[in-house]
Structure 1
Amino acid sequence: MLPKVLEEAVYGVYATTALHLADKHGVFGLLATQGAPTDKIAAELGLDEETLDRLLLLLDSFGVIERDERGAYRLPAEMVPFLDPRSARSVGGFLNHVMNSTLARLPQLDGYLTAGKSAVDAALPAPFDVMYRTPKLTEEFLAAMWELTYDVSRELVPRCGLDGVGHLVDIGGASGPFCVAALEATPGLRATVFELPEVGPYVADTVEKYGLQGRLDFAAGDFHRDEFPPTECVAFGYILSGWTDETGLELLRKAHRACADGGRVLIMDRLFDDDRRGPLPTAVMNLSMHVEAKGRHRTAAEYTGLLESAGFTDCQVHRSTQDKQLVIGFKR
């Protein structure tokens, strides 16, 4: 018998696959509202009963779902916010991105270990050329970013000090999840998503869906090549962790130039503990950044150092109850 931690690590790839398939085929949506045995689930969703039974047995063994004495499966209450596709905290979009994008790139790690990342990546397309290669991939990536960002943004916005701020620019802001959370909580605020041109139609959809005409707009640009729109507040959500310290410092210097005097920059990202021994989601995504991008996750002190090097002062760190944290720097 393997130690429990090792057992879960070895067999985790099967659990991830089962989670993704159960989400994709509506199993979690059904179990979030009712308990049901395998045959009823299969009949209602049009699924093969034998294959479904094996998936459900695995998910039950991992503790993701539970089965009562009559053989009916259901989602435990603590799992519903994360597995019900109707929930703002659903991980379904992220699972879809992992299965359809990340897993295909993980074999690159073998080459990185023996030849180094630079040598292997020289023959590969740039990260966002892959993520935005087709409309389907773009949509899947943006859906994953929304699920990872919107709910925790609603928790972080009150810590951002946006009362009295007239305008913010979200750099690489995807389809606008942070902007929507900020605008919902801050009357009088306007926001701009600064993103690659391919993202423009998705921001337009967000404006329409949330009724943000006149408050949320889109500016097409490449944050590596272009200066940022002038603003009182520059936001980076899950951006700087995708790039090296040198690139991150360059982006923060652009943010300093874009900010009005008295303005601020918001870095919202996963943070390592000071001793870099966790938390686990940060360590996982730190490895993911190695194959999907060019960056790494950092400690709060490392981000503060980058901010100060770019000219920001009076840096603050604010923690959420989720994986995404907030570091603020001010332009005095």
Structure 2
Amino acid sequence: MQLSVPQTPHAFKSSPLSAALYGFVATSVLMTLHQAGVYQLLVDDESLSANEIAATLGLNHLSVRRVLDAAAAWGLVECDEFSKYRIPNQFKDQLDYRHESYLGSIFDHFIGNTIPLAEYLPEALKSGDAQWQRFLGANKRLATHPFENLFSESEKAQAFHDAMWNLSYTVSEELVENGILDETRKLVDVGGGSGAFVVAALKKKPDLIGIVYDLQEVEEFCVRNLIKNRVTERASFQAGNFWTDEIPSGDTYTLGYVMSNWNDEKCVELLGRIWKKLPFGGRVIILDRILDENRSGPFPGVMQDIAMMLETGGMHRTEKHFHELLQKSGYKNIRITRSSAEKHAIVGIKIE
């Protein structure tokens, strides 16, 4: 569920330096057309001229044409011989708010959180620290962790949870179908957020019981999804802080995009807390991006690694890195189940 790197004949294709130099313009074009409602209009009406788009949305027609031409240069839209613009077929689902793979909520999270923090990349380069506290004004109470800050504003929190649902739900279905929950009776999704993995799991496995365990501030967003998807008879939300509170009992624990929020020391601590709760033969499943061993790809994962550095001080990891963290925490029989998307499963078993 990720926009592909543009496959266009312009000079950027053969010049990474030029692509990086003008990347900030591409991001501005991408996000501005989203905020203006242009993508949804083109999804619904198939193809429109700049004048038609401007008239419908109350925009300046010349500016619309120029911004759409820039989007076309990046392969985000297409322009035909009649000067009408359309969304490429490969992006339609991702730009349609009605579709499960919609990326608009991810755009909103980036606009409100990640892009402003990019300004402080030089500071992160010097200090090695996350930059999320830059959002805190002088008169605000100092938040103790980045999610306390993120969830303090309803609009920000909604964008984040919607983004995580859209990133996670479809790939979660695929991973469950690939057998990662075979023999599981009670699933605890630690830091389970919007409930995407638990919902996907319960829909695929009718005998499964699921718990989403996360901060109290997350409850309303998660429960809404549990009710909407009619799984409340077998799924529940339990509030708590997995660093300080008792983690619910289960025979399988999942960590979906959780370990990428923390450094190695904290990840080993969390894996150890889960190990103590597991029965023998139980498993922990890390659901996350996996970087190539040389850490230069895949491209979206490496870019997200920079976002994690800024937002939480966490990181994305290689297969070998995950393996080492699980071994250090006491897990055996470690195996990897890859999906067709960006989220994969790294499974460790409690043997002794």
> Normalising by structure 2, what TM-score?
0.88
**How much does 1:18 deviate?**
1.8
Structure 1 partner of 2:155:
136
Q: Distance in 1 between matches of 2:132 and 2:209?
A: 42
Counting only pairs closer than 5 Å after superposition, residues 62-81 of structure 1 correspond to structure 2 as: 62-81=74-93
Structure 1 partner of 2:119:
107
Runs of 5+ unmatched residues, structure 1:
none
**1:20 corresponds to 2:31:** yes
**How much does 1:282 deviate?**
1.5
Counting only pairs closer than 5 Å after superposition, residues 239-258 of structure 1 correspond to structure 2 as: 239-258=258-277
**How much does 1:275 deviate?**
2.1
Q: 2:57 aligns with which of 38, 42, 45?
A: 45
Higher relative contact order (CA 8 A, sep 6+): 2
Structure 2 partner of 1:31:
42
Structure 1 partner of 2:301:
282
**Identity over aligned pairs, percent:** 34
| Higher deviation after alignment, 135-144 or 109-118 | 109-118
| Higher deviation after alignment, 49-58 or 131-140 | 49-58
Q: Secondary structure at the match of 2:282?
A: strand
Q: Distance in 2 between matches of 1:116 and 1:293?
A: 11
| Higher deviation after alignment, 68-77 or 85-94 | 85-94
Q: Secondary structure at the match of 1:139?
A: helix
Q: Secondary structure at the match of 1:227?
A: coil
Q: Distance in 2 between matches of 1:261 and 1:37?
A: 63
Deviations 1:235-286 (A, max 9, x none): 0011101101110011111111222222111101111112222111121111
Contact 1:166-1:190 at 8 Å conserved across structures? yes
Structure 2 partner of 1:210:
229
**How much does 1:5 deviate?**
1.8
Q: Secondary structure at the match of 2:82?
A: coil
**1:8 corresponds to 2:5:** no
Q: 1:194 aligns with which of 213, 228, 237?
A: 213
Structure 1 partner of 2:200:
181
Runs of 5+ unmatched residues, structure 2:
1-10, 137-141
Q: Distance in 2 between matches of 1:297 and 1:152?
A: 18
Question: In the alignment, residue 218 of structure 2 is paired with which amino acid?
Answer: V
Question: In the alignment, residue 90 of structure 1 is paired with which amino acid?
Answer: Y
Q: Distance in 2 between matches of 1:150 and 1:47?
A: 35
Q: Secondary structure at the match of 2:251?
A: strand
Q: Distance in 2 between matches of 1:47 and 1:321?
A: 39
Contact 1:264-1:331 at 8 Å conserved across structures? yes
Q: Secondary structure at the match of 1:323?
A: coil
CA RMSD of aligned residues (A): 2.1
Contact 2:146-2:312 at 8 Å conserved across structures? yes
Structure 1 partner of 2:100:
88
Question: In the alignment, residue 5 of structure 1 is paired with which amino acid?
Answer: P
Q: Distance in 2 between matches of 1:118 and 1:238?
A: 17
Q: Secondary structure at the match of 1:36?
A: strand
Contact 1:112-1:120 at 8 Å conserved across structures? no
Counting only pairs closer than 5 Å after superposition, residues 150-161 of structure 1 correspond to structure 2 as: 150-161=169-180
Q: Secondary structure at the match of 2:210?
A: strand
State how many pairs are aligned: 332
Contact 1:230-1:260 at 8 Å conserved across structures? no
Q: Secondary structure at the match of 1:169?
A: strand
Contact 2:130-2:309 at 8 Å conserved across structures? no
Question: In the alignment, residue 175 of structure 2 is paired with which amino acid?
Answer: L
Q: Distance in 1 between matches of 2:125 and 2:222?
A: 39
Deviations 1:151-197 (A, max 9, x none): 22122222343233221111111111111111111111121111110
Contact 2:191-2:213 at 8 Å conserved across structures? yes
Q: Secondary structure at the match of 2:47?
A: coil
Q: Distance in 2 between matches of 1:155 and 1:318?
A: 10
Q: Distance in 1 between matches of 2:130 and 2:161?
A: 27
Contact 2:335-2:346 at 8 Å conserved across structures? yes
Deviations 1:104-149 (A, max 9, x none): 2122221233344289969974311221121111111111111211
Question: In the alignment, residue 20 of structure 1 is paired with which amino acid?
Answer: M
Contact 1:168-1:192 at 8 Å conserved across structures? yes
